[in-house]
Structure 1
Amino acid sequence: MNMAWKEMIRNKVRFLILGSIVFLISLLTFMISGLANGLSQDNASLIKDLPTGQFYMNKEAEETYNLSRIDKSIQDKMFTEQKDAVALSIQMGFINDEAGKQRSVAFVTATESELFADVKAGEIVLDRSLEQAGIKVGDSLTNPQYSSEFVVKGFVDQKKYSHAPVAFIRLENYQEMYRVEEMQLVFIPGGDSAQAFTGLQSFSNKEFLNTIPSYSAEQMSLNMIVWFLIVISGMLFAIFFYMINVQKMGLYGILKAIGVKTSVLFNMIWAQMLVITSLALVLSVTLSQVFHVIAPKGMPFSLSTETTLQLSVVFLMIGFIGATLSGIQIKKVAPLQAIQQGEM
Structure 2
Amino acid sequence: MNIAWKEIKKSKVRFMILGSIVFLVSFLTFIISGLANGLSQDNAALIKDLPDGQFYMNKEAEEMYNLSLIDPSVQEAVLNEQEQAAALSIQMGFLNDAEDKQRSVAFVTSTDSELFENVQEGEIVLDRSLEEEGLKVGDTLTNNQFSGVFVVKGFVDQQKYSHAPVAFINMKNYKEMYRVNEMQLMFIPAGDEFPVIEGLQSFSSSEFLNTIPSYSAEQLSLNMIVWFLVVISGLLFAIFFYMMNVQKIGLYGILKAIGVKTSTLFKMMWTQMLFISVIALALSIALSQSFNFIAPEGMPFSLTAATTVQLSIVFLVIGFVGATLSGIQIKKVEPLQAIQQGEV
TM-score normalized by structure 1? Answer: 0.98
Question: For the residues of structure 2 that align with 1:194 and 1:234, how far apart are their CA atoms?
Answer: 43
Change beyond 3 A, Cα 1:342–1:180: farther
Give a deviation string over 1:239-258, Cα, whole Å, max 9, x none.
00000000000000010111
State the match for 1:52 in structure 2: 52
Equivalent AA in structure 1 for residue 294 of structure 2: I
Partner Cα separation in structure 2 for residue 316 and residue 293 of structure 1: 27
Who is 1:213 aligned against?
213
For residue 18 of structure 2, what is the aligned residue in structure 1? 18
Q: What residue in structure 2 maps to residue 302 of structure 1?
A: 302
CA distance in 2, matches of 1:240, 1:284: 20
Shift of 1:81: 1.8
C-alpha separation between the residues in 1 aligned to 2:182 and 2:222? 36
* Residue pair 2:252, 2:333 contacting (<8 A) in 1 also: no
Asked if the contact 2:247–2:343 (Cα under 8 Å) also holds between the matched residues in 1, the reply is no
Matched, 1:328 2:328: yes
Q: Within 5 Å, give how 1:233-272 maps onto structure 2.
A: 233-272=233-272
Residue 341 of structure 1, CA deviation? 2.7
- For these two proteins, the number of residue pairs brought into alignment is 344
SS in 2 for 1:114: coil
Contact 1:249 1:342 in 2 (8 A): no
Moved more, 71-80 or 52-61: 71-80
Deviation at 1:295, TM superposition (A): 2.3
Q: 1:261-300 maps to which residues of 2 (within 5 A)?
A: 261-300=261-300
194 and 85 in structure 1: CA distance in 2 versus 1, 3 angstrom threshold: closer
Q: CA-atom RMSD, angstroms?
A: 1.1
Distance apart, 1:194 and its partner CA = 5.5
Mapped contact 1:54–1:191 kept (Cα < 8 A): no
- TM-aligned CA deviation for residue 192 of structure 1: 6.5
Q: Distance in 1 between matches of 2:167 and 2:273?
A: 51
- Please list every run of 5 or more consecutive structure 2 residues that lacks an aligned counterpart in the other structure: none
Aligned-pair CA distance for 1:157: 0.4
Moved more, 73-82 or 112-121: 73-82
C-alpha distance in structure 2 between counterparts of 1:39 and 1:192, whole Å = 32
Aligned equivalent of 2:73: 73
Amino acid at match of 2:276: I
What is the alpha-carbon distance in structure 2 between the residues aligned to residue 333 and residue 195 of structure 1? 64
- Say whether 1:230 aligns with 2:269: no
TM-superposition CA deviations, 1:145-192 (whole Å, max 9, x none): 100100000000010000000000000000000010110000000056
289-298 vs 200-209, which moves further: 289-298
Letter in 1 for 2:319: G
Aligned to 1:3: 3
How far has the Cα of 1:193 moved from its partner? 7.2
1:169 aligns with 2:164: no
343 and 132 in structure 1: CA distance in 2 versus 1, 3 angstrom threshold: closer
Identical pairs, percent: 75
Q: d(CA) in 2 for partners of 1:341 and 1:317? A: 33
**1:80, CA displacement in angstroms?**
2.0
Question: Letter of the aligned partner of 1:308 in structure 2?
Answer: T
- 4+ residue runs over 3 A deviation: 191-194
Q: Distance in 1 between matches of 2:302 and 2:51?
A: 20
Q: CA deviation at 1:293?
A: 3.0
| Higher mean C-alpha deviation, range 52-61 or range 79-88 | 79-88
Which residue pairs with 1:112 in the alignment? 112
Q: Which runs of 5+ in 1 are unaligned?
A: none
TM-score by length of 2: 0.98
